[in-house]
């Protein structure tokens, strides 16, 4: 599980970089060439993470609702990071929330 969480943290950083690139260039990524394969890759990692749901939910400060929200936020970030119309404020808040939860899981898992 530790390796998976570390991978997701790296992916969240990559989503943030993609978002900054799309905002500065003002050109959306191609949906079929870039967005769809990337989101499928993230979904695969999230499916793996769901296998640890009981373990994660039993950690301090984690509930089933919070775990489901974490999954949902990562899914939406993986799409939103590719489009210039995405709100910077909402994107940034989701990134912070996801980073906090993933780091918290990593801290309590070790």
- pLDDT at position 110: 53
14-39: string of b/e by CB count within 10 Å (b at 16+)? ebbebbeebeeeeeebeeeeebeebb
CB 1 within 8 A of CB 98: no
- pLDDT at position 109: 76
Tokens 């390796």 locate to 3
What are the residue ranges spanned by the domains of the chain? 1-109
Fold of 1-109: 1.20.120
- pLDDT at position 66: 98
Tokens 């949906």 locate to 31
- pLDDT at position 35: 98
Decide: pTM greater than 0.75: yes
């Amino acid at each position: 599980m530790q390796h998976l969480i570390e991978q997701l943290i790296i992916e969240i950083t990559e989503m943030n970089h993609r978002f900054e690139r799309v905002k500065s260039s003002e050109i959306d990524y191609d949906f079929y060439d870039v967005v769809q394969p990337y989101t499928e890759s993230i979904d695969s990692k999230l499916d793996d993470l769901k296998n640890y749901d009981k373990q994660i939910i039993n950690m301090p400060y984690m509930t089933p609702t919070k775990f489901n929200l974490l999954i949902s936020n990562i899914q939406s970030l993986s799409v939103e990071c590719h489009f210039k119309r995405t709100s910077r404020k909402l994107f940034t808040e989701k990134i912070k929330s996801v980073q906090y939860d993933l780091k918290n899981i990593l801290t309590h898992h070790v």
